[in-house]
Amino acid sequence: MRATAKAQPNIALVKYWGKRDSERNLPAVGSISITLADLHTTMTVEFDDSLSGDTLVVNDDKNDAMLPRVSRCLDSVAGAGRSFASVTSDSNFPIAAGLASSASAFAALVLAADAAAGTGYSRDRLASLAGQASGSAARSLFGGFVELENAGDDIRLHELCTARDWPLAVVVAITASAPKPVSSTVAMETSRETSPFYDRWIEQQEADLAEARAAIAERSFERLAAVAEHNCLKMHSVMWGSRPPMVFWNSTTLACMEAVRGLQAAGRAVFFTIDAGPQLKAVCQPADAEHVRETLARVGGVEQVVVSGLGDGARVVADD
Ligand code: 2P0
């Protein structure tokens, strides 16, 4: 009745932004991401008949704020009649700082809950359940380059190529570690309800997905860079055009973007992407990762730089 699973966050190159069904948390668009290797969340779930309620400890601190979401996710895997559970989560990177910690957390949670309850669901089913808890979490069940496809009234995941097939590196510049002012869920709904650019964003996503898929198939860094930066800036334009406007960047985010432009002008194969937060993620060839790290670390206002390769999907690990 106890199991531990480990998962890494993922970074979307073609972004998920908007929901077609808020109730079931179904995305309005498909997305393509890369799963990281070096940042991870380790999650232990233990179902225990002697408990009088679920408990959640995150990085050694009791966490009641996240507990209702975790409990709902456990219900979705083990059924509403399940025993209560104690859940322990440990991440080796700053959580709630725009590093997609909910993706690694809910991917690890569904896998650990499935193993602990003995439900034996398929990875696709678990991805779908993780996606109900947090849209991006579905992608962390898989490794390397992952596509999330909208399929009827569900989602379907595809591994486009593994981390070993195309081993890129990701350099994350943390420009602010405060919790973000508005959650992704709220920001997506505000975008849908108020942004004049939202419909165009949805209309164009299929073309961006096709371009990224082709770029990945031929391992064309240049093509992937162009579509990823375009898709990222388009997503932020949707937010800038919303009412109230949502600007997740700070001046350091822009300074990092300029630093990436400088690297590109000097001939380095690197591009940026930015999620619903102020951190900039630079994707590059592994041989350039140290130079990119040094360059971003020198940008005034950057608090911390984290480097990661690409890795595998979530997996059950031996209990410690
Ligand atoms: C993504 N983001 O594709 C996009 C890009 C942020 C910007 O998925 O509402 O925490 O829980 O399904 O997965 C972050 O949002 O949102 C996200 P919910 P989630 O990675």
Per-residue pLDDT at 177 exceeds 90: no
CA-nearest residue, atom 15 of ligand 1: 184
CA-nearest residue, atom 8 of ligand 1: 136
Which of the four pLDDT bands, split at 50, 70 and 90, describes residue 97?
A: low
At 318 the pLDDT is 84
At 100 the pLDDT is 72
Return the ligand 1 atom nearest residue 185 CA: 9
For ligand 1, the distance from its centroid to the CA atom of residue 50, given in whole angstroms, is 36
Give kind and range of the element (H or E) at residue 210.
Answer: helix 198-217
Pocket test for ligand 1, best of 23, 25, 73, 184 (most atoms within 8 A of CB): 184
Query: What domains can you pick out in the chain, each with its CATH number?
Result: 2-162 (3.30.230.10), 169-309 (3.30.70.890)
As a whole number of Å, the CA-based R_g of the chain is 19
Per-residue pLDDT at 101 exceeds 90: no
Per-residue pLDDT at 141 exceeds 80: yes
For ligand 1, the distance from its centroid to the CA atom of residue 124, given in whole angstroms, is 19
Give kind and range of the element (H or E) at residue 188.
Answer: helix 184-194
- In the chain, the amino acid numbered 228 is A
Per-residue pLDDT at 96 exceeds 70: no
For ligand 1, the distance from its centroid to the CA atom of residue 135, given in whole angstroms, is 6
- In the chain, the amino acid numbered 314 is A
Give the pLDDT mean for 245-251: 96
Q: Answer with the residue of higher pLDDT: 4 or 177.
A: 4
How far apart CA 116 and CA 231 sit, in angstroms, is: 39
- Token output for 171: 């350099």
Which of the four pLDDT bands, split at 50, 70 and 90, describes residue 286?
A: very high
Q: Answer yes or no: are the C-beta atoms of 283 and 273 closer than 8 Å.
A: yes
For ligand 1, the distance from its centroid to the CA atom of residue 132, given in whole angstroms, is 11
For ligand 1, residues with CB inside 6 Å are: 12, 15-17, 25, 31, 102, 134-136, 184-185, 275-276
Q: How far is CA 31 from CA 60, 123, 162, 185, 281, in A?
A: 33, 18, 17, 16, 17
CA-nearest residue, atom 9 of ligand 1: 185
Which of the four pLDDT bands, split at 50, 70 and 90, describes residue 94?
A: confident
For ligand 1, the distance from its centroid to the CA atom of residue 310, given in whole angstroms, is 19
How far apart CA 101 and CA 276 sit, in angstroms, is: 13
What's the angle, vertex CA 248, arms to CA 238 and CA 309, rounded to 5? 100
Give the pLDDT mean for 208-217: 98
For ligand 1, the distance from its centroid to the CA atom of residue 146, given in whole angstroms, is 15
Mean of the per-residue pLDDT values of the chain? 96
Per-residue pLDDT at 95 exceeds 70: no
At 282 the pLDDT is 98
Q: Answer yes or no: are the C-beta atoms of 66 and 95 closer than 8 Å.
A: no
Q: Answer yes or no: are the C-beta atoms of 36 and 146 closer than 8 Å.
A: no
Question: pLDDT digit string (tens) for 26-55?
Answer: 999 999 999 999 999 999 999 999 999 999
Which of the four pLDDT bands, split at 50, 70 and 90, describes residue 178?
A: confident
Question: pLDDT digit string (tens) for 69-93?
Answer: 999 999 999 999 999 999 999 999 8
- Match 């989560």 to its residue by tokens: 89
User: 268 φ, ψ to 5°?
Assistant: -80, 145
Residue 40: count of CB within 10 angstroms of its CB: 21
At 180 the pLDDT is 79
How far apart CA 233 and CA 254 sit, in angstroms, is: 12
